[in-house]
Each structure stands twice: as C-alpha cells, then as structure tokens.
A and B are shown apart, each in its own frame.
Chain A
Amino acid sequence: MSTDTEVSSQAQALEERIAKLEEKNGNLTMALLSGDFDKAMGAFIIANGALAMGKEVSIFVTFWGLDVIKKPSFSTAGRGFLEKMVLWMRPKGPGKLPTSKMNFAGIGPKLFNFMMKQKNVEGLGSLITMSQEFGVKIIACQMSMDLMGIKKEDLIDGVEVGGVAAFLSESYKSNTTLFI
C-alpha cells in the first residue's frame, strides 16, 4: 500500500522522465558508406544545414565513404600489394568521385560539376571545408581503414578515427540518424 506522499513522489519522478524523453536537441548523426559524388553531396548539404541551425553533427565515414575524405594525393609506400592495388583503383577526394547514375566512365561528374558552377551550386570540397569550420565531427571507420590499408594521414585533417561504438554513441545522443 502506497501512501499519498509516495504516490506523488512517484508521479514527480515519472514526469521528470517524460520531460527528459520529450527533450529534443535536434542533433544529427550520419553514416556515410557511399563514395558516390551525388550521395556525398546530399550528406554534406544536410550536414551543413543542421550546422547552420546550430545543431551538433557527426558523420561516421565507412567503406567507400572514405574516398570522399581522402586527400587528393598521398604516398602508398609501405603498404601490401593488395592494399596498394585497392588504393590505386579507388578515387582520392571529392574531386575524383563517380556519380551513382550517369557516370559515363567519369564524364558524368565533370558534366555535373560544370552545371553546378553554371548554377552557382557550392562544390563538394568546399561544402566539406565549410562543415569543418562549423565544427562537424567526422569519424573515419578504423576497420575499413585497416582493411584497405588507409592511414589517418591519407585523410583530410581534423578527422577522428573510431569504431561502431563511437558511431552508436553519437547516434544515441542525436534525434536523427541517417544512413547514406
């Protein structure tokens, strides 16, 4: 049997828990698996929008997504034969990415970049730089990096390295998580 004071303190505790559950921070977490130019554009436009709204944004970059945050050139010295082959075959950085549709062996992205310039749409490289100036947290997937022989120095500056738990921890703290 509960007394009135016990009931009211339980009600208060419940109200506090509901208030905490209903609290929205608007923070955004993304998993960027794709290395396609158009999908990376989408990811960084959404990221910049959320940053402009004053929200915290984390992007977990894994597998082909790593192509997006590679430096335009780096030495592959000291890496195994298969690693070297993969690094040689994959594009390096936002200027070299293929499009998911109409790639036409690399002509597609050039066409889109030309049309973007005509229509004054910000380029992917500059969207990435801007998101970093606004304080985006980019976490590169350790396992994918190890698998393909990618080192932290091969990636743009300001990138952290982490695993699935780092991504999930960011995701649990956000109201929105997108997989791209």
Chain B
Amino acid sequence: MATNLDFKGLACPMPIMKTAMAFKKAASGDVFEIVSDDPGFEPDITAWCSETGNPLNGITKDGNLIIATITKK
C-alpha cells in the first residue's frame, strides 16, 4: 500500500521539502504517492529523486494534478 501525500496548493520549494521530511521518517521499501498541483513539481521531483537516489516509479497526470510514485531506497 502506498502512502498518499497531498501537497496540493503548496508552492516551490514546499513540495520537495515536505517530501524530504516524509522520507526522513520512512523505512526502506516504503512507497509514496505524492500529489501536487505545482506546475514545477514534475522537473523538481525528478531532480530530487535522481539526486537522493530514491527510485521514481512513475509520474502520471490528472488534469492539473501531477502524481509521482516513489519508493524509499
């Protein structure tokens, strides 16, 4: 089961800050589904994943929502 993190309405840099906070407390293998309506979220979360080494399983879009699925390494 993926943990859902709803970051709708938050502007840069808050979505990645809150992601980092959630990942700090998580255990290896935990899966997160992160929802944001910040247009910059897609490049930001992609960069965050590649820099921190947490695998980005996929990004989907639903209207103005961007949903990223990430596993904690």
Q: Are B17 and A52 in contact (CB under 8 A)?
A: yes
Q: Are A120 and B52 in contact (CB under 8 A)?
A: no
Which of A52, A120, A130 meets B48, CB within 8 Å?
A: A52
Question: On chain A, which size bracket covers the interface?
Answer: 10 to 19
Contacts of A26 in B (CB 8 A): 51
Give min CB distance, A113 to chain B, whole Å.
14
Looking at chain A's contact residues, is the secondary structure mostly helix, strand, loop, or mixed?
loop
Contacts of B10 in A (CB 8 A): 120
Q: Are B17 and A130 in contact (CB under 8 A)?
A: yes
Contacts of A53 in B (CB 8 A): 16, 20, 47-48, 51-52
Looking at chain B's contact residues, is the secondary structure mostly helix, strand, loop, or mixed?
helix
Residue in A closest to B15 when the chains form the complex, CB atoms: A52
Contacts of A147 in B (CB 8 A): none
Within 8 A of B (CB), among A33-56: 45, 48-49, 51-54
Q: Are B11 and A121 in contact (CB under 8 A)?
A: yes
Q: Is A119 an interface residue (CB 8 A)?
A: yes
Q: Are B52 and A49 in contact (CB under 8 A)?
A: no
Within 8 A of B (CB), among A144-167: none
Q: Are B13 and A45 in contact (CB under 8 A)?
A: yes
Q: Is B63 an interface residue (CB 8 A)?
A: no
Q: Are A52 and B19 in contact (CB under 8 A)?
A: yes
Extra 10 A-B pairs, beta carbons < 8 Å, given A48-B17, A54-B52? A26-B51, A45-B13, A52-B16, A52-B48, A53-B16, A120-B10, A120-B11, A121-B11, A130-B17, A134-B20
**Which 9 A-B pairs have CB atoms at the shortest separation, nearest pair first?**
A52-B20, A53-B51, A121-B11, A52-B16, A49-B13, A48-B13, A120-B9, A52-B17, A45-B13
